[in-house]
Structures are given as structure tokens and as C-alpha cells.
Chain A
Amino acid sequence: MNKGETSRRRFLVATIAYSGLISTGMGAALLRASTAWAQSGNGNADELTRIARLLYPHDGIADAVYVEVIDSILSDSVNDVSLKEILNQAVTALNAAQNGNWFEIGADDQIKAMRVVQNEPFFAAIQGGVRVRFYNHPKVWEHIGYPGSSVEFGGYADRGFDDIDWLPEDA
């Protein structure tokens, strides 16, 4: 991994972390980003959305959330050449392994193809970018039972910080 790629990955992970960038108000701008991506001949944003779901597959999470995550990354790539390059590399590499048709094959084969390239720097960059956006997304939090900020509710001192009830009696 060269230095540029390392710092790119750090950027994705560190500065986007929890930034709350994803909000419904950004919808229009995000839509433009994915359209621009598709129109500039980079392939379909659906491929990236598929990658996002295979990275972190949760049946109970609607496609719309994965689409939002990818659109947020694409929106950042508009003014970021190296990020755009990373996304291109990913799509190109996956397709190269599958005669240009990674998106069309079955999930198991798609995952196999991803495993082949998972140690490539671009893969870590996309994984980091998806992870930080996806697992900080309010709909994902709701789905998995994480409520987020608690200080406005007085913390958990009176709301179950010690309510565990299944531990063995003898312990």
C-alpha cells in the first residue's frame, strides 16, 4: 500500500467518522452525485450499492440506506480525484474477475470475487468509507437497538444500566 492510499483510507475513517453527514436534507445533492457518477461512464452506482450490502449484509435494512451510504461517498468523490479513482478501481477489479459482469452473477460468486481483491488498498478504503457511514446511520442504529446520545435523557442511571437478568445465580 503506498503512502497516498494509506492517508486516503485514514481520511475516510477518521474525518467522516460519526460526522452525521448523512441526513435526508442532502437527498438532492446525493442524487446528483450518483447520477454524475453514472453519466461520466464510471458504471452504475448500483454496483457500489451492491458492494455496500455484501460488505455489511443486514436483511432488515432497506436498500435505500445502502444507496444513501454510497451516494454520500460518491458525493465526496465529486471533488476528490483519488477517491473517484478508488471507486473506479473497485468496480473495474471486480468486473475484470468476472468477464465484466460481476453485477449479474449470484451473491456467492460476487462474494468470492470480493474475497479475491479484499487485500487491495482500494478495498480497505471502500470498506472503511461504507463502515463509518453505515454503522453511524440512524436507521441502522434503530434496527440493531442502539439509541445513541443519552445525556438528554439523564443517562442510564435510572434506565437500565444494571438490569441484566440472565446471568447464573451462583455467579
Chain B
Amino acid sequence: MANRYELNDSSVVVVIGSGAGGGTVANELAQKGIDVVCLEAGSRMTLADIVNNPGIMNAKMGWLDKRIGAPTWLCKTVGGTTVRWSGITPRFQEHEFKPLSTYGKLDNTTLIDWPITLDELAPYYDRAEDRMGVSGTHSIPPSAETNEFKVLKAGGKKVGYKEITSTRAAINPVARDGRPGCRQIGFCWSGCAIGAKWSTLYSEIPKAEATGHFELRTKAMVVMIDHDDSGKVTGVVYVDESGDTHEQKARVVCVAGNVVETTRLLHNSASSMFPDGLANSSGQLGRNYMRHATTSTTAIMPGPVNFHRGTRQSGLIFDEQYHKPERGFAGGYLIETSAGDPFGIAQSVGGWGESTAEYLENYTNLAATWVTGEDPPQASNKITFHDTERDQYGLPVPVLNYEFHPNSEAMYAHAAMTSKKLLESLGGRNVTSVKGGGGGCHNMGVARMSANPRDGVTNRWGQSHDIANLFVSDGSVFASSAAANPTLTIVALAIRQADHIAERMSRKEL
């Protein structure tokens, strides 16, 4: 039964955002009997609101507020970007928690090691996979092999790859945890109309409500976090649907707005005590912004693939994820499938004229790979704010500064080459790779965890170095990007953080 809390109830934990990080940390806390108020800027959809139409769904759930610079692909809706995501959930590898020690100093990067190890996170990966229903874990069968996965597998084998799998998707192969099995609808990015794909919208949020320790307020845009003279946060100010401003008092605040909004909120909460924004004594807030080195490669295959039939991303190859410096770059990448609709294909292959039209004429024979690879942090890749432009809330418009690092350029070139080889091994032709294709769906690093408070914004728990009762609960805390799609790690870190907050609260330390 969903609860209601008073605005002046200062015993609650306030969670800002209801996506992978916020929805998870809120539910985990509520499950432990801790009272949580979750503030979500977007509105709440039901499955009946979800249609197989990316444009209509983007209008319903996309984060469309004005932003300048590198585009992102995020959502303003209950469930956040877990409504739109593909569901691919690989774990990070051991060395990816130690990028500085493993790769050494790379020019023009701000590499650090994570303040935690894979061993420490492994039990939480386990719990996250169980919560999300990841195929191939916890006795869940592998995902069904779609046409496009079969292309990836056949081509992968031809070029000598060994670790090819249709597991590691948080999309139910069979009914589980109150959600049905996948029907291969093919519109994962429009939101799963039957709820087979894990999303906090219909998994964590209703579970939290059922505890009686949770209240979700929708269309509540948080614009500032308040603090007292001792430097502890005391509540958050938000604007509701009618434009009225409220302050919800809080014992602990968890920020999970995805990197752009997380940065903006902490930045906008600057005060005389914290002149550069909350939790920013290091000056690292908004910096070290990472997006993954992504590449999409498309080819016309010799026979029908019909990749629109079935999950948008249906499997992956691990062979290139390792750190093998002889390839000419640090870190590694994952090769995944990626289907597109005609407009998406026209956009991703780019160009115009006969060559572009030929792709679309052969739409039913297309196959594609999508590569996500490690993207090193750079001081110059950062989120800043426009001097004069303001959005509908009167807040400064975010400016996303992002350039590929030479390491990512080298990785991109390698990934384009291996993808081409894979697709050509089966007779694929007209192979086209787009650097950065699909970039902007993975956003990480602007409030990174660091052992040394000078290097980052948060500590090993995602707790801010500067303010004990202020936590960051989304991908902003990533100290490095690793190669893997980030959501599983966001969820694992959020579960771990909730355990930590509950323990500290029980010891009256928070």
C-alpha cells in the first residue's frame, strides 16, 4: 500500500529519480522498512500507454528539455531510461575496476582505479541479476536465439570468436517474478508493451509501494537541495505539475537523475558554504563524463534476416572485451546485435542517394552489430551550464562537452574492422560503420567514486565526500566506463548502497 508523507517529515530518505539507480535504491530501502519519498520529474505510464512507435513514445517519455551539445537518449518518466533500455546486462571484469593500474597513465585522461573491486561487488551483481531476471543466471534459461543473434553467432564462429552468448539480457525468456516471457515484439526501445523486459516502472516501484514505506511523487522536478549550518542536507525543493514549489524535508538524500540532471542539481544547489555546488570541493562535479566508445556497423546480407522480428539486442560476443594492448588501445569492447527500423537505419547508415536507398531496398536482409567499448575519462569531457539560456524551470541549460579520446578512436577503428570481417564472413556487403552510433545512451562518471576525495565526488558507497547524508545513486558514480552496458552495475551499486545506508541509519550515523 503506497504511503503518504508530510513535507516536514524529516525522517524520510528522499530519492531523486526513479530509474535504474533511484528506483532500485528506493525499493531496497523500503523493503528494509525505511520510509522513502521518491521524486520523479516525469509522469507515470501504464503498460497500456506503451505503443510500438518510437516517435510517439519519445514524445511521451523522452527527456526533451533543452540541452546543448552531445545528444543523450534519456527518459523523463517513472522508470527513467529503464523503460527504453535494451536489457543487456554484462558484468564488469576484474581489471576494469583497476584501469589506472592495468592500463597505466594514458595521455590526456584522468584515469583512476575504482575504490572497490569486482570481489566486493560480485555478491551485489548476483542480487541484481536475480532482481532483474537476467537470462542465463539464477536458473533462468538463455534468451531465445533470434534471427539476428544467429547471424552474430554464425559470423562470430567464422572469424574465430569463442564466447558468444544469448544470455545476459534482463528480458524474461519465460514468465518470472510477475512478468511474462518475451513475445519477440521488437520494440524494446519504445518500452516493453507487455512488461517482459525489466524496468523499475513495473518491477521496483510497485514492489516498493507494496511495503507501505514508500511514496512516489510524479511530475516533481527537483531544483535544489537544502542544507543546514552544519553542512548536512536537510531537504529538497521541487516544482510540481502546477508550477508550485515545495520543500520535502529529508534525513538522507539520494540523487539519481542520470548524469546531466545529477550534475545540474548539485551545481544549482550552490550556497555560501558550498560555492561551487554541493559535494564539489574537489571541482570534479560534472567532469570525467564518459559515454562509451560505440560503433554501429550495418551490412546487406545474402538472405533474409528480418531483424525487426524480436528483441532489439539479442546477444553478445565477449572475445574482444579483454585488455590486449597489442591491438593498439587500452581496454576492450563488446560486440552486440542491434536492429533498427527503416528510419533508424537511414539515420545510422547516413548519407543520401543510391547507396543509402540500396540499404533500405534491402531492409529485410540487413544485419548489424553494435559495439560498446571502454571510454577513458577526460577532464575536458564535462557537463557545464549555459551563461544565459534558461529552461522552463528557470534553470541554466546544460551544455554537454564530449570528444572521443584517441584511445576510443583506435578502438572504434578496430571494432569497425572486426565487425566488417564478421558480417562479410557470411557474405555481407556494403558494410558501413558509424563512429559513435548509438552514443549517448550510456552516461557515466560526473560524480565519480574515488579513494582520494581530491579525485572525485563520492566515496566507495556513492556517499559524497563532503556531505555525509548526501548520496549519488546513478551511473554518475562510475570511476571508469568499462566496456559493458552500465545498467546492471548501476543496479548492483544501488543495492549495495541501500544496504550501507540502512546499516548506517540503524547505527544512528545518518
A contact residues vs B (CB 8 Å cutoff): 13-20, 54-58, 111, 118, 127, 131-132, 135-136, 140-141, 144-151, 154-157, 159-168, 171
Contacts and interface: CB of A to CB of B under 8 A. Distances in A.
B286 interface: no
B55 A145 contact: no
A19 B183 contact: no
A144 B306 CA distance: 11
A167 B58 CA distance: 36
B309 A161 contact: yes
B187 interface: yes
Contacts, number: 146
A162 B146 contact: yes
A123 to B, nearest CB: 9
A167 B151 contact: yes
Interface in B103-132: none
A159 B342 contact: no
B184 A155 contact: yes
A12 to B, nearest CB: 12
B54 A146 contact: no
B430 interface: no
A163 B147 contact: yes
Given A14-B64, A156-B309, A144 B360 contact: yes
B346 A131 contact: yes
A144 B147 contact: no
B353 A156 contact: no
Contacts of A159: 309
Secondary structure class of chain A's binding surface, majority of residues:
loop
Contacts of B441: none
A20 B183 CA distance: 25
B343 A17 contact: yes
Contacts of B155: 171
Contact of B310 (A16, A135, A154, A162): A162
Given A136-B342, A155-B183, A155-B185, A160 B306 contact: yes
Interface in B167-221: 182-187, 193-194
A164 B147 contact: yes
Given A57-B357, A141-B342, A162-B146, A151 B64 contact: no
Interface in B331-387: 341-343, 345-347, 352-354, 356-357, 360-361, 363-364
Contacts of B353: 54-55, 57, 111
A110 to B, nearest CB: 11
Contacts of A54: 352-353
Nearest to B314: A161
A67 to B, nearest CB: 18
A19 B56 CA distance: 6
Given A56-B356, A162-B147, A171-B158, A18 B308 contact: no
Contacts of A18: 53-56, 58, 343
Contacts of B309: 150, 156, 159-161
Interface in B151-165: 151, 153-155, 157-158
A13 B352 CA distance: 15
Contact of B150 (A136, A145, A150, A164): A164
